[in-house]
Structure 1
Amino acid sequence: MYWKDGGRFNLNIQQVGLTNWAAGGESSVAIGAAVEGFVNYEKDDVVWENKGRIAYGVIRNGGGGNRFEKTNDVVDFSSKYSQKFSEKVLLTSAVNFRTQMDNGVKIENIAGTSDTRRILISDFMSPGYLQASLGLTYRETKKGYSVTLAPFTGRFTFVLNDSLSNVGSFGVEAGETIRSEAGISLTGGVQRDVMENVKLQMNFNLFSNYDKFPNTVVNVEAGLNLKVNDYIQSNISSQIIYDDDVIITRSDGSRGRDLQIKNVINVGFTLGF
């Protein structure tokens, strides 16, 4: 078989209802869904790998009059075409695209009052990232990992929302919608069974603009998939991002460059295909 494909759909629902609860707390409803899949081809000296993931989640704290707030929002597609020098060393060209589907907001307190305000900080294709690269891949198929070093990498940042591009969000020049960079990247992944019904997955993407070398954009994702049966699974994942061109508004109201960290624990219904 030259072609291999697969995927899964995951749905998680959590509801907490409190009425006259002496210990205190707040009712909440949380819903999350994700779909991911891959299509790979390998024959003779040709290897073509494609994968994609879309995920979205919301939560509402308190009564029905409160808003649902976004907790997860990912659109991520990648394609990698390689020619073999050997079973372990390949010449690789790759494309990766990332963005989100919905508005992202930050809730801030209004100084001197008890009121809050919602500030738009991101949107669909604001940011959007497109990275194209050419380099060498080293892979250990039986051990489940691969690493690609690409000295020829182009990275494009899109900010199509006018209010965000006008203030130069995500590193674009104020009023511009696209930023182009040339640099070097190191990407790779690990996928292996650590014990029965427990699978480790990790992906990383490091990019350094030649104009700012060695300043590096870091994006690392790691997760554990714990399988109860064919329909019930738990996923524990973490993601760390650092981008020198992204200015963060911290929880204390200060602004600056900082680590972005996301931790997600899901238990729910999973359908494989």
Structure 2
Amino acid sequence: MFFSKKKFIAVLSFSALLSIGTYAQGVSDSVSQVATDTTYWTKEFSAGLNFNQGAFSSNWSAGGVNSVALGAILKGKANYLKGKWSWDNQMEMLYGMVKNEGEDGRKSNDRIFLDSKVGYSLSEHWGAYFSANFLSQFANGYNYDEDPRTLISGFMSPGYLTTSLGFEYKPNEEFVLRIGPFSPRWTFVTDLSIADNIEENYGVPVGEKVRTEWLALQLYAEWDKDINENFNILSRYQMYANYETLSFKKIDHRLDVTLTAKITEIISVTFTSINLYDYDQDPGIQYSQGLALGLLYKVSNKKE
């Protein structure tokens, strides 16, 4: 099922509040000054929509299943830089559905990622920072191997809010590495019924809705590169290690990769991939990928 309007509004509201709160931590400019100093802002926004469909006659000898698939992606950045202070904001939202004849609609992609960071330059390539990022999904997820299907995830089930204080290395505008030796994280599972189907309950104690990890290290690396005017690579790696339960198998790793190739001004091919290792979810490596052809709209005031 598609996500509800209330959930979508809640996510956007959270993003706005998070960005405003983080900005107030370090930037001395007043709100009115920031609003008027538009020359200090670099903004990007892109929206994509893809559609796939297959149909077969009832006597098609090779066999086949009628199907319809729809996907959408929204990406945005708004970065502020003045003197030694910077404020970087990022949003990435993906959702996809597939409907095979004779089956209920099932989601094929579902991601909410929001990130906001205030930084202060210490040298040409190094700086101090405070950041907060949020990761969750829009809609319920199910295990279809069981009959009837069982609920295994949903909006804020799980949801991750991670704050981080540390140092960042930024040799150019395409790459950034954050090293956060103090990175508290809150893991949410607001639907208590999920514990009935997921034994690990995403690391949250059964019967509770939040798990707090105060003492932890976070590494965050991002490479956002325009190979040329028609091809972009966005790669994001996150590592999280709780000092209190530190062991090799308890360190979380997540790698997100998005490749976008423009065929024409409005038609593009998008490849998305997620590689995830989280012992609190599953002792093995999780992987998902998608490839889609669709429409893409992009605007930016970035200087080439």
Q: TM-score when scaled to structure 1?
A: 0.89
Matched residue SS, 1:140? coil
* 1:148 maps onto 2:148 in alignment: no
Find the aligned partners of 2:164 and 2:80 in 1 and give their Cα distance. Answer: 20
Q: How do residues 92-171 of structure 1 correspond to structure 2 at under 5 angstroms?
A: 92-109=129-146, 116-141=147-172, 144-165=174-195, 169-171=201-203
2:268 corresponds to 1:226: no
Residue 163 (structure 1) shift: 0.5
Cα displacement string for residues 85-109 of structure 1 (whole angstroms, at most 9, x for unaligned residues) = 0231010111000111111001125
- Counterpart Cα distance in 1 of 2:225 and 2:124: 19
Q: Deviations for 1:246-273, whole angstroms, at most 9, x for unmatched residues?
A: 14xxxxxxxxx21110111111001113
CA distance, structure 1, for counterparts of residue 229 and residue 192 of structure 2: 50
What is the distance in 1 between the residues matched to 2:234 and 2:93? 17
SS state of the match for residue 175, structure 1?
Answer: coil
Pair 1:196–1:40, CA change in 2 (3 A): closer
Contact 2:160 2:186 survives alignment (8 Å): yes
Provide the C-alpha distance between the structure 1 equivalents of 2:231 and 2:43, rounded to a whole number of angstroms.
21
Q: Cα deviations across residues 195-248 of structure 1 (Å, max 9, x unaligned)? A: 56222210011000001224311111112211112211111121111111114x
Aligned-pair identity in percent equals 31
Q: Distance in 2 between matches of 1:4 and 1:195?
A: 19
What RMSD over aligned residues (CA atoms) do the two structures have, in Å? 1.4
Tell me, in whole angstroms, the C-alpha distance in 1 between the residues paired with 2:264 and 2:136: 32
1:51-88 deviation line (CA, Å, top 9, x unaligned): 1122211101125xx31111111111100110000231
Q: Aligned partners of 1:79 and 1:165: how far apart in 2?
A: 31
In structure 2, C-alpha distance between the alignment counterparts of 1:72 and 1:223, rounded to whole Å: 13
What amino acid maps onto 2:295 in structure 1? Answer: F
226, 240, 246: which one pairs with 1:207?
A: 240
Asked if the contact 1:165/1:172 (under 8 Å) is kept, the reply is no
Task: Indicate conservation of the 8 Å contact 1:150/1:186, yes or no.
Answer: yes
Which residue of structure 1 aligns with residue 206 of structure 2?
174
| Counterpart pick for 1:77 among 114, 120, 125 | 114
Number of aligned positions between the proteins: 255
More strand by share: 1
- Whole-Å Cα distance in 2 between the matches of residues 222 and 123 of structure 1? 23
Instruction: Please give the alpha-carbon distance, in whole angstroms, between the structure 2 residues aligned to 1:21 and 1:243.
Output: 44
The amino acid that maps onto 2:106 is E
Give structure 1 regions of 4+ aligned residues with deviation exceeding 4 angstroms. Answer: 165-168
Using the TM superposition, give the Cα deviation of residue 165 of structure 1 relative to its aligned residue in structure 2, in angstroms: 4.5
User: The residue matched to 1:51 in structure 2 has which SS?
Assistant: strand
- How far apart are the structure 2 equivalents of 1:62 and 1:104? 20
CA distance in 2, matches of 1:87, 1:10: 36
Q: Which residue of 2 aligns with 1:269?
A: 295
Q: In structure 2, what is the Cα distance between the partners aligned to 1:16 and 1:149?
A: 47
**Structure 1: tracts of 5 or more residues without a match:** 110-115, 248-256
1:11 counterpart = 2:53:
no
Structure-2-length-normalised TM-score? 0.81
**1:239 and 2:277 equivalent?**
no
For residues 84 and 121 of structure 2, the distance between their equivalents in structure 1, rounded to whole angstroms, comes to: 5
Structure (1/2) with the larger helix percentage: 2
Whether the 8 Å contact between 1:165 and 1:176 is mirrored in structure 2 is no
